[in-house]
Amino acid sequence: MPEAILKIKNLKQHFPIYGGIFMKKIGRVYALDGVTLEVKRGETVGLVGESGCGKTTLGRSTIRLYEPTDGNIIFEDQDITRISQKQLRPLRRQMQMIFQDPFESLNSRHTVGEILEESFIIHKDGTSSQRKDKVRASLERVGLSPDTIHRYPHEFSGGQRQRIGIARAISLNPRLVICDEPVSALDVSIQSQILNLLLSLQEELELTYVFISHDLAVVKHISDRIAVMYLGKIVEYADSNSIIEQPHHPYTQALISAIPVPDPEIKRTKVILSGDVPSPIHPPSGCCFHTRCPAARNICTKEVPLLKDYSPDQQHQVACHFAGEVNLV
């Protein structure tokens, strides 16, 4: 079994809130509240959940775009949680990110060649002509003509711009790529092309992905394992088939019930959750899902359910006091 490339242990990311005329600290946003997760080398772990559940924060904290409040991030057996930015710099080329909106993440005043060459310049990688060769190779690898290096981002379609974003992320041969909603801004017809590109690059370059999306149907297509997040916590984590076929957490069951079924003969109960996701400034007591859970009982308002192995092979973790008893779909 491949070893873990990334271990996240009890990670907390609390953002302070300042207010009043003296801009004093008046509260905090509990964006991540004790996340533990392992990602094995070469696999794709999908992070799924509604907007505001903490999945993007988890992706960004993992590569230290935020300074974590507590917990540990271990990458390639090295604890990187509190190392300095200087110590982090050589590791940055091994951990890259693909962003949701390629247009926003690409500098519109620079040509594609300049945008892609920048990573090599920052990491002092090669001479000018070697860098340009590498830029052309990166473009070809993502299915774009090397002749496009002189063009600007606005001259490309959304799908092509995302290919440029992917070329930038893979150009330095990273080990881990955080893909933050990489297809959400694209037409459905283009989404599958980008997903297939990510899959072929993964095989070719032996990449490990953390794939973030609010869309469980997309996550299921690309992920080996899926972590379902709710209000800064992981509530269920298992291999994709297990999660889709035997979801144990009521929230996962609700997400799955919303995936359209292509076969009209198959009937599935749609679980409608009442209310909105509570504010991460004032998360509910006990189980964070109890305010919307159709199966909630008294204990759920008082005791936090721990993420525990549920299956005999210890590969299916669920945080619910009644895992295995609840079936909403």
Can you give the binding site for ligand SF4, defined by CB under 6 A? 249-250, 287, 289-290, 293, 295-296, 300, 305, 320-322, 326
Six-digit token pair at 44?
Answer: 């794709």
In the bound state with ligand SF4, the residue whose beta carbon lies nearer, of 64 and 321, is 321
Six-digit token pair at 325?
Answer: 């008893």
Do 254 and 248 meet the contact criterion of CB atoms below 8 Å apart?
Answer: no
In the bound state with ligand SF4, the residue whose beta carbon lies nearer, of 75 and 289, is 289
In the bound state with ligand SF4, the residue whose beta carbon lies nearer, of 6 and 287, is 287
In the bound state with ligand SF4, the residue whose beta carbon lies nearer, of 54 and 182, is 54
Do 293 and 287 meet the contact criterion of CB atoms below 8 Å apart?
Answer: yes
Minimum distance from residue 311 beta carbon to ligand SF4 (Å): 17
Closest by CA to 229, choosing from 28, 95, 45, 6, is 45
Minimum distance from residue 292 beta carbon to ligand SF4 (Å): 8
- In whole angstroms, what is the distance from residue 139 CA to residue 163 CA? 8
Six-digit token pair at 55?
Answer: 């999945």
Minimum distance from residue 285 beta carbon to ligand SF4 (Å): 11
Residue 97: partners with Cβ closer than 8 Å, 6 or more residues away: 59, 60, 63, 65, 169, 177, 178, 179, 180
Minimum distance from residue 175 beta carbon to ligand SF4 (Å): 35
Q: How many CA atoms lie within 13 A of 133 on its CB side?
A: 6
Minimum distance from residue 255 beta carbon to ligand SF4 (Å): 13
Six-digit token pair at 250?
Answer: 């009521």
In the bound state with ligand SF4, the residue whose beta carbon lies nearer, of 167 and 256, is 256
Per DSSP, the three-state class of 12 is strand
